[in-house]
Structures are given as structure tokens and as C-alpha cells.
């Protein structure tokens, strides 16, 4: 889906989430776009890559994803490949794996659950202090360890700039 269509289609869910939680709608749209490939990989209305830790209760799906780690021996339900790479000058391992992710009945459920994820997790307490500022919140969640990709904040901020053009 192209950026303008994505923003127009999903803006209402991000605005409603901002109303409920105070987390910037622009941030939420940008992160949804980044995590789902502008909606192309939102299988089961899963826009944010929220993991499902048990894979047992019916609200999960096993999907292919990429993870980065400094460890060469992480465990996943299925490991497709592991490749040694350099990211931001740091030696890491790039995993292509299958892992459990949440599945939602509607996009709104996904957007709301994602916002509540930040609110429920204490490691994002500092980030929530800047939740209304899309760029600052992107930096803060990355600093708190949101993603395994060391370039996550930079990439997310570039998407935020694109979303702002169509918001």
C-alpha cells in the first residue's frame, strides 16, 4: 500500500489510540507502517510485531521475521537462517526465523493493544514522558530496547517524516 493510502486508511485507529493513551497518532501510524510494510504484512491485523509468548491460546500466529542479536545461539520455534553481520559498527547475528505473534480481529484492536504494551511495561516509563512527540518517542522506545535492530530509531524517524507529509 502506498504511504498516502495507508495514512488515510488507518489514521482513524491511530487518532483513537492517541485519544485513549496520549501516544502520538503520527508515531503510531509510522510504527504500524514500518512494522507491517505499509500494511502489506499485517497478517491477522498484526501491525506492530507484538510477540505472543505462549503460542497456545488461539490469538497467535506463527510468522517469519528478522531478529538481531550479539548471541549466535538464540532459540525460536523455527530458525531459517543465521548470518553474521555488522550493524552500526557492531558484530551481530541476523536471524531469519518463525516466531509467535499476536493476531487481532480488527486493526483497532491491534493499535490499542500496541499502545497498552508501552503503558504496561515499566521499561517504557521514561519514553512515555515524551509520548506526544513522535520523534522523541521513537528515540526513547529504541533506547529502552523496543527492537533488536540497532538502526531502529533512525529507520522509524524516516517513516515518521513520510507519515507527516500525508497526515
Residue 40 is among the residues annotated as catalytic for this protein:
no
Given 60, 67, 99, 149, the catalytic residue: 67
Cβ neighbours of residue 25 closer than 8 Å, sequence gap 6 or more:
11, 14, 15, 17, 18, 167
For 91-144, give the DSSP string. EEEEEEEEEEEE--SSHHHHHHHHHHHHHH-GGGHHHHTTTT-HHHHHHHHHHT
**The pTM is what?**
0.81
pLDDT at 56: 65
130-156: pLDDT as tens digits: 999 999 999 999 999 998 888 999 999
20-75: pLDDT as tens digits: 999 999 999 999 999 999 999 999 999 998 888 766 677 889 989 889 999 999 99
Residue 67 is among the residues annotated as catalytic for this protein:
yes
Given 18, 99, 113, 149, the catalytic residue: 113
Count up the domains in the chain and report the number: 1
- The CATH number of the domain holding residue 55 is 1.10.530.10
Q: Give the domain extent around 94.
A: 3-166
Amino acid at each position: 500500500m502506498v504511504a498516502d493510502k495507508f495514512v488515510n486508511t488507518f489514521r482513524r485507529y491511530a487518532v483513537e489510540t492517541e485519544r485513549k493513551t496520549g501516544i502520538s497518532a503520527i508515531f503510531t501510524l509510522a510504527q504500524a507502517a514500518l512494522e507491517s510494510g505499509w500494511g502489506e504484512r499485517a497478517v491477522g491485523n498484526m501491525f506492530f510485531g507484538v510477540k505472543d509468548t505462549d503460542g497456545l491460546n488461539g490469538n497467535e500466529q506463527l510468522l517469519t521475521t528478522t531478529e538481531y542479536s550479539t548471541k549466535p545461539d538464540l532459540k525460536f520455534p523455527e530458525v531459517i537462517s543465521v548470518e553474521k553481520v555488522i550493524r552500526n559498527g557492531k558484530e551481530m547475528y541476523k536471524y531469519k526465523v518463525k516466531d509467535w505473534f499476536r493476531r487481532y480481529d480488527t486493526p483497532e484492536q491491534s493499535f490499542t493493544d500496541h499502545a497498552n504494551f508501552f503503558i504496561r511495561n515499566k521499561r517504557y516509563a521514561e519514553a512515555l514522558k515524551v509520548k506526544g512527540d513522535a520523534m522523541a518517542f521513537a528515540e526513547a522506545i529504541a533506547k529502552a530496547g523496543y527492537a533488536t535492530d540497532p538502526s531502529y530509531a533512525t529507520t522509524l524517524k524516516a517513516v515518521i517524516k513520510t507519515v507527516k507529509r500525508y497526515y
